[in-house]
Amino acid sequence: MLRLLVLHGPNLNLLGTREPSVYGQVSLTDIDKSITRHAGTLGIAVQTKQTNLEGELVTWIQNARGHFDGIVINPAGYTHTSIAIRDAIAAVDLPTVEVHLSNIYQREEFRHHSFIAGVALGHISGFGPTGYLLAMEGLIAHLGVDRKPSRSVSNRKPTASRR
């Protein structure tokens, strides 16, 4: 069974009350429930964790090797500051998708740079909590894992390309 680790960075524990005009009114608990529910429909195992501590994120990433097949991470504010998290992702060599609830490129200039993007398989921002579900679908497609059918785009039969 495919195993994914979903990591939430600093201040995401305040979702639902923290700047609802930017991050919405959904709590992290509700997001985690949605992730777990979606994982069940996909036939995969998922573990979610949140911390405000950079070193703890680094340790969880390092410990993922041999236990998980991929990582979904919302590094939050560490996106723009943490070379340590970037280096940990590069070191474990697990496919990783970076997720942000808001579109970081429509926000303050300092949020436009991600240290994580260069070592991530993909980057999803601006779709709110749905971004986590899209990241899971993307990792499954990337890993080519057989699973239960879902409503996802990845289950559509490929069409011939036109040149």
Per the CB < 8 A criterion, the answer to whether 132 and 9 are in contact is no
pLDDT at 23: 67
Residue type, 112: H
Task: Spot the catalytic one: 8, 100, 123, 132.
Answer: 100
Task: Give the distance from CA 115 to its chain's centroid.
Answer: 15
> Mean pLDDT for each 10-residue chunk of the chain (163 residues)?
97 83 83 98 97 98 98 95 97 97 78 89 95 97 68 38 34
Domain locations in the chain?
Answer: 3-155
Task: Spot the catalytic one: 8, 23, 78, 123.
Answer: 23
pLDDT at 104: 81
List, as one string, the DSSP characters of 22-44.
HH-S--HHHHHHHHHHHHHHHT-
Domain at 3-155, CATH homologous superfamily: Dehydroquinase, class II (3.40.50.9100)
Cα gap 58→83, rounded to integer Å: 10
Per the CB < 8 A criterion, the answer to whether 162 and 137 are in contact is no
Catalytic status, residue 105: no
Catalytic status, residue 23: yes
